[in-house]
Amino acid sequence: MLVMLRSTYEDMSREAANIVAERLRRKPDMVLGLATGSTPLGMYRELIRMHIEEGLDFSKVTTFNLDEYVGLPPSHDQSYHYFMKEALFDHINLNPSRVHVPMGMAPDVEAICEWYEERIRQAGGIDLQILGIGSNGHIAFNEPGSSLGSRTRIKTLTERTIRDNARFFANKEEVPHLAITMGIGTIMEAGELIILANGEKKADAVKASVEGPITAMMPASIVQMHRKAYFIVDETAASKLSPDMLEELTGRPNGQPAMHS
């Protein structure tokens, strides 16, 4: 795992978009794993800009989203289907037949989970997976305590995640309690991972994931085991890392800002 410290959210987002764009130019039919949430929005904006201004071509790309709420139709403005359309899909040239978001409204949700795993296998596996991190250390909807070898399945959201996500709904009661999520084992099979974190709210989870023990109670800590994982953080999300780690990342004692003379 490589930790990359960037000054601002915009720098973090640009860095991530540059990695995606570089991989895409190298492999135009890449399989790209996508995340929702507020963290990757800046990266999506940058990818859209690259598509419009630089002709970055997504026409042969296959995508798999990490998760979806159970019980929300794709037309619901808080469903992840809707979110992805607004944030990315409507603005780039993806082929809709190659876009996958778990179907939260499927009558047999368990069958959908198995089908999702099968589709990922048929596509040749995920080349690059984008991840955010929950303030409790979750990745996708793999909450603390999730098996580190888990596959795509239904999960119950924790109170903390429901509280964190309530900001997007009219009230907390409207937040679904169940979601379909790729498993941690599924995520770890991706060829490369980009895990993004910005803001003070993520600082504890970043510290525990980067410096703490690998444990199911901090699902993002498993990323330490991935050979090609880029943990890209902004300064506020990195603010609780140990002085040694900050010095390692910045090349400056205690990660102090460079002195300008």
- The residue ranges that bind ligand F6R (CB under 6 A) are 35-39, 66-67, 132-134, 138-140
| 164 among known catalytic residues | no
Nearest residue to the partner ligand F6R, using Cβ = 132
* Least separation in angstroms between CB 25 and ligand F6R: 25
The SS3 of residue 143 is coil
Residues 123, 220: Cα–Cα separation, whole Å: 25
Shortest CB 132 distance to ligand F6R, Å: 2
Shortest distance in whole angstroms from residue 241 CB to ligand F6R: 18
Residues 72 and 220: their CA atoms lie apart, in Å, by 26
Q: For 261, how many CA atoms within 13 A lie in the half-sphere containing its CB? A: 0
Is 67 in the active site?
yes
142 flagged as catalytic: no
| Residue 18 falls in the annotated catalytic set | no
Indicate which residue of 67, 68, 192, 234 is catalytic. Answer: 67
What residue has token string 């709904």? 169
The DSSP element (H or E) to which 45 belongs, if any, is helix 41-54
Q: Which residue's CB is nearer to ligand F6R, number 159 or number 248?
A: 159
- Residue among 100 and 138 whose Cβ is closer to ligand F6R: 138
Which of 44, 22, 48 shows the shortest CA–CA distance to 34?
44
Q: Please state, in angstroms and rounded to a whole number, the distance separating the CA atoms of residues 117 and 139.
A: 17
Cα–Cα dist 218/138, whole Å: 7
CB of residue 131 vs ligand F6R: minimum separation in angstroms?
6
Could you say which of 65, 127, 136, 165 is catalytic? 136
Nearer to ligand F6R, 4 or 60 (CB): 4
Tell me how far the alpha carbon of residue 58 is from its chain's centroid.
19
Distance separating alpha carbons of residues 168 and 11, to the nearest angstrom: 25
Q: Per the structure block, which two tokens stand in for 122?
A: 């048929």
* Nearer CB in complex with ligand F6R: 139/184: 139
Instruction: Give residue 259's identity as a one-letter amino acid code.
Output: M
Task: Supply the minimum distance, in Å, between the C-beta of residue 199 and ligand F6R.
Answer: 8
Catalytic residue among 46, 68, 127, 143: 143
Q: Are the C-beta atoms of 184 and 66 separated by less than 8 Å? A: no
Of residues 201 and 252, the one with the C-beta less far from ligand F6R: 201
List the catalytic residues: 67, 136, 138, 143
